[in-house]
Amino acid sequence: MKKLWMKLSPFTPDTSGACSALFGLDGLLMIHNAQGCLNNFRAYDEPRWEEQPQNYFSSETSEMDVILGNEGPLIEKIMGLVEKYSPAFVGLLGSPIPMLIGTDLRGLAKEVEEQLQIPVISLDTTGHQYYDSGISIALLRLGQSILRFSTKTLPRGINLLGATPLDLGLQDSLQDIKKFMEINGWNILSCWSMGATLKELEKATAAALNLVVSWSGLALARWLERTFGIPYIVGNPVGQMGGENLLKLLEEAVKTGVPSKGGCHKDEKLSQRPKVLIIGEQIGANSLRQCLSSDFNIEAVQIASFFGIDQEHMKSGDQELAGEDDLQSLLDDNDYRIVIGDPFFQSFIKPEKCTDFWAIPHMPISSQFKINQMPSLIGKKGTHWVHKQLHLNTGEEI
């Protein structure tokens, strides 16, 4: 019964993640489907849409076109929309239908690009993966399309990779990260891709370092390292001491050119049974774990996630969750003092467990219901937030 979901609504899919990653970049996106994926994105997955609608469209492919493999109407629609809106690039996204019938999205993109003479990128989304996969695909394909070697490297130039409102919320966290970096002497060249412009992203190869702020930025970071020799580190400056530790890793990485795991090693085992469980996006959860350790000396912290888990950035004991059963079993089999995650997860904790729950809303799980309650945990804000939770919920040391 692992595929049976009874308490949680469907998570944000990869198509919405890709749309969010390319939001505001003057592109025209075409989701190749019958219709529906785009409506879901506009209504539930993208909080910026109402104030900043984009040139995103559905191919509205017909049943007969699917049966006959007729791609002519799709190409004609793209050509007409490009003529009308003059975008900087076109993104062609997959969905369940092209996945099932084996549509060659890359071939289609190449054909359209030859006719339009502007970049056309294919995004192999399926609608069956989660948002983080879609963001990862979109950022990587966009980078491969627009980035070229820079003639100079700025010694304190840095890129932020994997920043979208789906993980960071609308403004506070990202602005706090930028402010933290700038106060400590770093010049942010580009932010992939929340609040960025295409011209800003094109400056990325002049950076000395990349900072990966979510799992979704890892693929782009590794490609930038292989292709342009730009090292990267992984993590967010969560908490006062956590932020200071990240600054040390930044300095070390820019001097040595060696990527850092952000203080997380797979072979590093918990010294005792976990007392704290963080459920969420891996990189953000790792950063909060680092804050609990360095700012509060709380070491027995375990991470679990329904989303992407990178083996290099996990500790022994961290778990991938395939379904509700996995989460329920994890909570039933362990006596956690504290569970941290989206408010929708609280219903999995049985009352007799006497577990304190710290809510951090996560849009891919609870959509926009709690978006205004997403706290910024950057720098001292993170320390203050944890201290407040400890005081309100436990009143004693962990």
* CATH value at residue 236: 3.40.50.1980
Flag whether 172 is in a domain: yes
pLDDT of residue 274: 83
Q: Across all residues in the chain, what is the average pLDDT? A: 92
Q: Is residue 5 part of a domain?
A: no
Q: State the DSSP code for 323.
A: S
pLDDT reading at 103 higher than 90: no
Specify whether 32 is located in the same domain as 136: yes
pLDDT at position 61: 84
260 confidence band (pLDDT: 50, 70, 90): low
351 and 335, same structural domain?
yes
User: Cα(352)–Cα(234) distance, rounded to whole angstroms?
Assistant: 37
Is residue 6 included in any domain, yes or no? no
Whether 267 has a pLDDT exceeding 60, the answer reads no
* 117 in the same domain as 47: yes
Residues 23 and 139 in one domain: yes
pLDDT at 328: 96
- Mean pLDDT over 84-112 rounds to 92
Please list, in sequence order, all residues whose beta carbon lies within 8 angstroms of the beta carbon of residue 104, skipping any fewer than 6 positions away: none
The answer to whether residues 92 and 174 belong to one domain is: no
* Integer CA distances (angstroms), 234 to 179, 216, 260, 364, in order: 18, 11, 7, 21
In the numeric block, which tokens belong to residue 68? 């006959």
Does the pLDDT of residue 392 top 90, yes or no? no
| Sign of CA pseudo-dihedral 17, 72, 104, 142 | negative
Which residue segment(s) compose the domain that 81 sits in? 14-145
Residue 261 reports pLDDT greater than 60: no
For residues 163 and 89, membership in a common domain is answered with no
What's the one-letter identity of residue 377?
L
pLDDT band at 332 (very low <50, low <70, confident <90, very high): very high
pLDDT reported for residue 148: 96
On whether both 98 and 37 belong to a single domain, the answer is yes
One domain for residues 286 and 213: no
Identify the band that residue 360 occupies on the pLDDT scale cut at 50, 70 and 90.
Answer: very high
pLDDT (0 to 100) of residue 397: 55
CA dihedral 170, 171, 177, 181 (to 10 degrees): 140
Predicted local distance difference test score (pLDDT) of residue 393: 62
pLDDT score of 271: 56
Residue 398 lies in a domain: no
Q: Are 20 and 141 in a shared domain?
A: yes
Residue labelled with tokens 């967010």: 236
Of the candidates 145, 177, 206, which is a domain's last residue? 145
Q: Is the predicted pLDDT of residue 372 greater than 90, yes or no?
A: no
User: Using CA atoms in the order 45, 8, 377, 315, what is the torsion angle rounded to 10 degrees?
Assistant: -120
Question: Within a domain: residue 261?
Answer: no
Q: Does residue 103 fall inside a structural domain?
A: yes
Residue 264, pLDDT score: 54
Residue 382 in any domain: the answer is yes
User: Distance between CA 335 and CA 345 in Å, rounded?
Assistant: 16
The verdict on 252 and 153 lying in the same domain is yes
Where is the domain boundary, 204, 222, 256?
A: 256
pLDDT value for 259: 64
Angle at 218 between CA 213 and CA 224, to 5 degrees: 110
pLDDT tens figures, 191-212: 999 999 999 999 999 999 999 9
H helix count then E strand count, the chain: 16, 13
Residue 123 bridge partners (DSSP): 93
* Among candidate residues 347, 297, 351, the one with its CA nearest the CA of residue 8: 347
Task: Dump pLDDT digits (tens) for 36-82.
Answer: 778 889 999 999 999 999 999 999 887 787 777 778 889 999 999 99
Angle at alpha carbon of residue 90, lines to 188 and 124, rounded to 5°? 90
pLDDT bucket at 150, cuts 50 / 70 / 90: very high
pLDDT value of position 119:
95
Helix segments in the chain, DSSP class H: 14-21, 37-40, 63-68, 72-85, 96-101, 105-116, 131-146, 165-168, 172-183, 198-201, 218-228, 240-256, 282-296, 324-333, 363-366, 380-393
What integer pLDDT is reported at residue 208 of this predicted model? 96
Which of 223, 256, 289 is the last residue before a domain boundary?
256
> Which of 176, 233, 225, 183 shows the shortest CA–CA distance to 204?
225
Q: Are residues 51 and 134 in the same domain?
A: yes
- The predicted model gives 154-170 an average pLDDT of 96
Give percent of the chain above pLDDT 70.
Answer: 94
Shared domain check, 118 and 99: yes
| Domain count along the chain | 3
